[in-house]
Structure formats: C-alpha cells, structure tokens
Amino acid sequence: MTTTIAEGEAIQDATARPRRSRTSGIDRALQVLDYLQKVEAPATAYEIARDIGAPLSTIYVIVDDLVEKELLDRQENGLLWLGPRLYHYGLTYARTLDLLTVATQEMHELAEASNETIQICGRDGDHMVVLAMEEGKDHFQVTSRVGTRSPLNWTASGRVLIGHLPEAERRAIFARCATASPTGRAETDPKVLAGISVAALEDGLSIQAGDSDFSVACIAAPIRDNQGSCRATISIVVPDIKLNQKDPDLIALVKASARRIESRLGWLSRRG
C-alpha cells in the first residue's frame, strides 16, 4: 500500500498537533456560567454550545444538572440564566468581604485607643477562629496567631457566636463540642452554656477570665447583622487584672467598636 504526498503531509500535520485533552464536567459548567456572565443576558443551550465549542448533547446534560442544583434558572421561554444559588453565594461572599474590611479598620482604631491586643473572631463549625488580630502598644501583651481555633465553650467570642440560634440547636452544639479547658475553668454543661450564650448576645457583651489560659481575660462584643444574628466578634484580650479598669474603659470601648462596625455595614439601622 502506497501513501501519496498529500496523505503523508496530512498524517505529519496530525501527529505534530498536540492531542486535545478531554474537558472535565466542572470546566464545562464553568464555561456555561462564564458565557452567561459575558453576554449578561439569558441564552439558549444551542447558543452556549456554539460559543464555547462544545457538543450540544454535552451542554444539555450539564445544563439540566445545573438547573436541578439551582445554579442555573430555566425561564418559561426555555432561555437559561444564572440561578438563585449563585446569588446566595455572592451575597455571602460580599457580606464576609465587607465585614472583614470594615472590622479590620475598626480593629486598628480600637488597638490604638486601648493599647491592647484586638481580635476579630468568627465561627468555624464547633470552633471559634481568629480571623484578624492586632497587637496593642502596652508593654505586656497577650497574643495568638490568626487562624487559631478554640472550642466554642472556652472563649467569650465562641459562646456569643451562636447566641442567635434556637435553644435546642445551641444545646446540641455545646453537647457535641464542649470540652475541658487547660485551666479546668471553662463551663462544659450544655444547658448552662446555652443560657450564657443567648444572654451574652442580648447584652451585647461576653466576658471570660481564666477559662482557657491562666491570668488572661477576653472582653468580646458581638457584631450582629440586620436579622440580629452574630456574624463575628471584636474583642480585647488582656491580663485579667485589667478586666475592670476604667481608664480606658475597655468594656465601653469594645461595645462601641462593635456598634460602629454594624452601623458602617448598615446593619444597626435596619435592625432598629
């Protein structure tokens, strides 16, 4: 069997070209979403497939899956648009981004006013996590690293972070996660903790001294959204001998900082 010059050149060209890798389902889903973002208008599956260069049958399968998961919305005329689940993801991302930006700015101001270590803390499942921190200028400082995680029952911030949840849920969380602290002073009774948690949220203040570390106190104020849910805390961490000092008044400072964060985010005015 002989091969013509033209056939030889075609074979050579084919072998020279890199082999196309198979596009994953996740990549195809992102291509669909990227296309709708690019055109900023609903589109048909055919238009999407034509633009991204994918088989129409493949796009139909992916689109059906995305619609089922509410990542896409199929309108009455059959056109496809971004789904409600993406909207909720975006809201959560934006809210978190805005919260950390505003809270970090307030953290700097509070550190300057108090000369103490300031933390912004949030919830990570059954733990409290330090999201941001700034050391004050006082000669004796209590510090911890960003990303440090502690059981919810050990810290002032941890307890107040779930104060907005229904009582049964608060009890279930504490029953699951409450453990003895290194000092042995942290409360572990789920019923008691559930009561402390909601009271702290209502008071706008949570205090612990010596529960997780000897001679260390934490004064935390909840940062509440327009529904009254605690999204994070801002706290002052000090030696326990400073807990009740009045110059400056650390309790008043941290509560005022939390209210300013809520006000800057528009939460305080909407909550009333």
Cα distance between residue 162 and residue 102, in whole Å:
21
pTM for the model stands at 0.66
Instruction: Please report where in the chains the tokens 């496809």 appear, as a residue.
Output: 80
CATH 3.30.450.40 residue ranges for the chain: 91-271
Residue 201: is its pLDDT beyond 90? yes
CATH 1.10.10.10 residue ranges for the chain: 7-82
Residue 68 φ/ψ region, left for φ over 0, alpha for ψ in the -120 to 50 degree band, beta for the rest:
alpha
What pLDDT sits at residue 18? Answer: 43
Residue 212: is its pLDDT beyond 90? no
What pLDDT sits at residue 141? Answer: 58
What pLDDT sits at residue 98? Answer: 86
Residue 37: is its pLDDT beyond 70? yes
Opening angle at CA 137, ends 133 and 140, nearest 5: 90
Mean pLDDT of the chain: 87
Helix H, strand E, coil C: the string for the chain is CCCCHHHHHHHHHHHHCCCCCCCCHHHHHHHHHHHHHHHCCCECHHHHHHHHCCCHHHHHHHHHHHHHCCCEEECCCCCEEECHHHHHHHHHHHHHHHHHHHHHHHHHHHHHHHCCEEEEEEEECCEEEEEEEECCCCCCCCCCCCCCEEEHHHCHHHHHCCCCCCHHHHHHHHHHHCCCCCCCCCCCCHHHHHHHHHHHHHHCCEEEECCCCCCEEEEEEEEECCCCCEEEEEEEEEEHHHCCCECCEHHHHHHHHHHHHHHHCCHHHHHC
What pLDDT sits at residue 12? Answer: 46
Tokens representing 54? Answer: 């994918």
First to last CA, the chain: 88
Residue-wise pLDDT for 53-84, tens only, equals 999 999 999 999 999 999 999 998 989 999 99
Q: Which fold has domain 7-82?
A: Arc Repressor Mutant, subunit A (1.10.10)
Residue 8: is its pLDDT beyond 50? no
- Percentage of the residues of the chain whose pLDDT score is greater than 70: 87
Residue-wise pLDDT for 106-155, tens only, equals 999 999 999 999 999 999 989 999 999 998 776 565 566 788 889 999 99
Tell me how far CA of residue 202 lies from CA of 109, 126, 199, 229, 232, in angstroms.
25, 21, 5, 11, 15
Instruction: Please report where in the chains the tokens 């030889």 appear, as a residue.
Output: 8
Residue 11: is its pLDDT beyond 50? no
Q: Are 138 and 189 in contact (CB under 8 A)?
A: no
What pLDDT sits at residue 23? Answer: 66
Mean pLDDT of 178-200: 95
91-271: CATH architecture: 2-Layer Sandwich (3.30)
Mean pLDDT of 250-257: 96
Closest of 240, 205, 225, 249 to residue 94, by C-alpha: 225
